[in-house]
């Protein structure tokens, strides 16, 4: 038996007693095939083209009409010594490094501090770029979530976990759900491709872990015909994502009251869906239905990774929510009337999300 045949052996991918023979196609019955997932490559490239066109022709002009403006940033004087330190050793030099690089450049320490501050500001993503990125993600998550709900809301296996696995793995693939899977996989691959170019946030490493775990789960669940479970888990995640992106858009527009209301709605949906609904679906629809085998162990491991990320992000959301309630939500001016400490807390919290 070759390596490829060993890799695709049914004992790794299907529960005990099931084989690939159980998923043989006929003229009117389709099942997921691993080679279908190659379509995610042109799908991801197509989404990148659509995103580029959307941001340039719709989001950018819309941002200007809504009053989103980039701040004027001071230009820095070219300096090879300071630029070399900035690129190779760090954007924020420590006190000792400041003194050293000031001597090397022949400039006062205070001038060097100002140069680094202005240089960091130049690299800071523009507000219009943030607006366009958040607008694109809002459109995708909103469309994905409500189209997914429309596809499965009338399916009996959504509302009764005892029906979800009847005759598994002999559960024919509904073409609409197959295309939905490919769309989600294509989107996450497009996010991976644009990671170096998109706005980098404080949870950048967690985002990478999340994308890897999500792509892996989509891939293995499709190959093993776990479509029903996979679609429900994806919709649980999409249910709050579009609210977060909408809150970002409103934040860039400086619609502070509306932004706060949407963010609170996002916080409620996120915490209830990720910390309550997600574990319940995973437990009742999956953990209690299968004997332990290789793929179930792998999926369980990645589901645990996702849940740990959910807990981490829930902590950040709660910190942000309490900061708004304590320091800004009941005041007429959101940032101007707050103490310096409160302002720092909120700016740091928003920086992680926007």
The per-residue pLDDT for 204 is 74
Instruction: List the Cα angle 95/97/101 in 5-degree steps.
Output: 120
Q: Could you tell me the pTM of the whole model?
A: 0.78
The per-residue pLDDT for 123 is 63
Q: Which residues contact 285 (CB under 8 A, 6 or more apart)?
A: 161, 164, 228, 229, 232
Q: Which of 218, 207, 208 is nearest to 185 (CA)?
A: 218
Radius of gyration of the chain (CA): 24
Q: Which of 96, 92, 94, 97 is nearest to 115 (CA)?
A: 92
The per-residue pLDDT for 32 is 87
3-state secondary structure of 92: coil
The per-residue pLDDT for 334 is 32
Split the chain (354 residues) into runs of 10 and give each run's mean pLDDT: 68 77 78 88 95 94 85 74 72 75 78 76 75 93 94 88 80 90 93 82 76 88 88 90 92 88 91 91 76 79 87 87 64 34 39 50
Neighbours of 337 (CB within 10 A): 12
Instruction: List the Cα angle 290/292/293 in 5-degree steps.
Output: 110
- Chain-centroid distance of CA 113 in Å reads 35
CA distance 3 to 12: 13
């Amino acid at each position: 038996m070759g390596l490829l045949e060993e890799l695709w052996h049914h004992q790794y991918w299907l529960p005990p007693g099931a084989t690939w023979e159980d998923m043989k196609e006929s003229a009117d019955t389709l099942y997921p095939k691993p080679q279908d997932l190659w379509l995610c490559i042109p799908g991801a490239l197509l989404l990148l083209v659509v995103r580029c066109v959307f941001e340039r022709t719709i989001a950018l002009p819309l941002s200007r009409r809504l009053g989103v403006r980039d701040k004027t940033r001071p230009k820095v004087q070219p300096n090879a010594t300071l630029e070399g330190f900035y690129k190779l050793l760090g954007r924020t030099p420590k006190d000792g490094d400041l003194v050293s690089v000031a001597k090397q450049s022949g400039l006062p320490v205070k001038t060097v501090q100002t140069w680094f501050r202005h240089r960091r500001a130049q690299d800071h993503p523009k507000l219009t770029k943030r607006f366009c990125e958040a607008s694109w993600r809002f459109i995708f998550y909103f469309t994905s979530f409500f189209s997914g709900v429309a596809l499965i809301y009338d399916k009996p296996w959504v509302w009764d976990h005892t029906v979800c696995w009847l005759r598994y793995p002999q559960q024919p693939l509904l073409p609409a759900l197959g295309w939905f899977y490919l769309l989600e996989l294509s989107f996450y691959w497009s996010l991976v491709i644009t990671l170096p170019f998109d706005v980098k946030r404080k949870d950048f490493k967690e985002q990478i872990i999340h994308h890897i775990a999500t792509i892996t789960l989509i891939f293995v669940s499709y190959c093993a015909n776990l479509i029903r479970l996979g679609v429900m888990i994806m919709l649980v995640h999409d249910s709050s994502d579009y609210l977060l992106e909408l809150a970002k858009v409103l934040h860039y527009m400086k619609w502070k009251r509306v932004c706060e209301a949407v963010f609170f709605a996002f916080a409620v949906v996120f915490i209830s869906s990720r910390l309550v609904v997600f574990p319940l679906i995973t437990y009742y629809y999956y953990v209690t239905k299968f004997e332990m085998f290789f793929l179930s162990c792998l999926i369980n491991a990645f589901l645990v990774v996702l849940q740990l990320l959910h807990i981490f992000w829930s902590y950040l959301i709660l910190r942000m929510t309490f900061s708004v309630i304590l320091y800004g939500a009941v005041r007429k001016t959101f940032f101007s009337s707050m103490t310096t400490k409160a302002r720092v807390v909120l700016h740091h919290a928003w920086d992680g999300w926007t």
